[in-house]
Chains A and B, each alone.
Chain A
């Protein structure tokens, strides 16, 4: 299903046939587009490595560090600091490269869900 992900040279990918060619804008990031940032899964967890960052480049980076004093998934970070996901992914990439955050990815998507895990989820939902 992900055959649509074929970025062209100019960064415009024909993401979606109905929607047309789609690109993501990067305002806060100074126009930087880093394809590797797509690596940050929506439910990858991010946690700040240090409680205080002295040289944090921007208020947006600071906001992410403040939020990730406890582990948080990428989608939650974007929702809480009210920035689009694409922008948040670039900022996370900066922080990762600066060694200010650690990142934990969900299990590989090829794996079938574990039966014990599913049973734990059912049990947990029942006792909510």
Chain B
């Protein structure tokens, strides 16, 4: 019987890091991961929509969709995996795969292009995935306040918004703690007290 193994894997939890093109997803995963972030790829063949060949063999283009992968060991039995979502928002089924079973998500909003984060915000809202918004300030001076960003993104008061530097380990740690605390509040609200 090998039902009891000494090399049993740790409990695995998943957190997503999403955001628009160049928002700082890879940087954020790298800032807290204990391994240098890996690039995990999925190769997809997109069949031409216009094809009248029912086999769909013609007119295919191959697209590589990449996600970032990082790891934080909490205890020997508990590991957090970080996934930076692919830059191309249009491959939603990959997002579905990433979001399935995820503890929550960080949406990076780049102050230069706030609208780029709308797609990710909509996605997690619709899916009911808990998320926080990390406002990545590329300019050395902070140009927006949290409340200005909240208004611009039309985000409810219950969703935490933080000003962040994706390159800074301490700052990203704080984002992750805020996310898990947010999840805890939601779980507590869902579980009847007693």
Contact = CB atoms under 8 A, between A and B. Distances in A.
Contacts of B183: 113, 118
**Contact residues of B: prevailing secondary structure:** mixed
Contacts, number: 174
B42 interface: yes
Given A112-B190, A117-B13, A4 B8 contact: no
Kindly state the interface size class of chain A when it binds its partner: 35 or more
B9 A4 contact: no
18 contacts: A1-B127, A22-B44, A41-B101, A42-B97, A71-B9, A71-B10, A75-B40, A76-B38, A76-B40, A83-B41, A84-B41, A104-B9, A112-B190, A118-B184, A120-B75, A122-B177, A124-B74, A128-B32
Interface of B: 2, 5, 7-14, 32, 38-49, 54-56, 60, 62, 64, 67, 69, 71-72, 74-75, 78, 80-81, 83, 90-93, 96-101, 103, 126-127, 173, 176-177, 180-181, 183-184, 187-188, 190-191
Interface of A: 1-2, 4-5, 10, 12, 15-16, 18-25, 41-43, 45, 47, 49, 70-71, 73, 75-76, 78-80, 82-87, 102, 104, 106-107, 109, 112-113, 115, 117-122, 124-126, 128
